[in-house]
Copies of this chain bind each other. A is one copy, B any other.
Amino acid sequence: MFTPQFFKALCDPNRMNILQWLAKKNKSCCVGEISTCCQVDLSVVSRHLSQMKAAGFLTSERRGKEVFYHVNAKTVVHVLRSLADFLDGCCLTKKLKGGEKND
């Protein structure tokens, strides 16, 4: 579930930037448009988008000559919350209800 592939998609500054930029847009954007949000070559952006798509962060759809990418927010949010909940359950809330066993 918490695969390295998933978090690798988040640990590059350009990818994080793209993710947030796309999320704010909250609509499908084509590669050329997305590439305006960071400084690197468009081909690099294309590769980042592919990688994020492979990690389940994005979905894509071709419309004519262009390919539109969109944030798969549901999936990303779910994984992030799952890890947060796991850590929370282990280390924060569990103790309060009197459980003493942790592994």
On chain A, which size bracket covers the interface? Answer: 35 or more
Query: Digit string of A12-56 for contact with B (CB within 8 Å is 1, else 0)?
Result: 110010011001111100000000000000000000000000000
Chain B residues with CB under 8 A of A88: 73, 77
Question: Which residue from B4, B20, B90 sits with its C-beta under 8 Å from A13?
Answer: B4
A26 to B91, Cβ gap below 8 A? Answer: yes
CB-based contact A86/B12 at 8 Å: no
Chain A 86-103 residues near chain B, CB threshold 8 A: 86-88, 90-92, 94-95, 102-103
One of B4, B76, B84 near A81 (C-beta < 8 A): B84
B91 near A87 with CB under 8 A, answer: no
Contacts of A19 in B (CB 8 A): 87
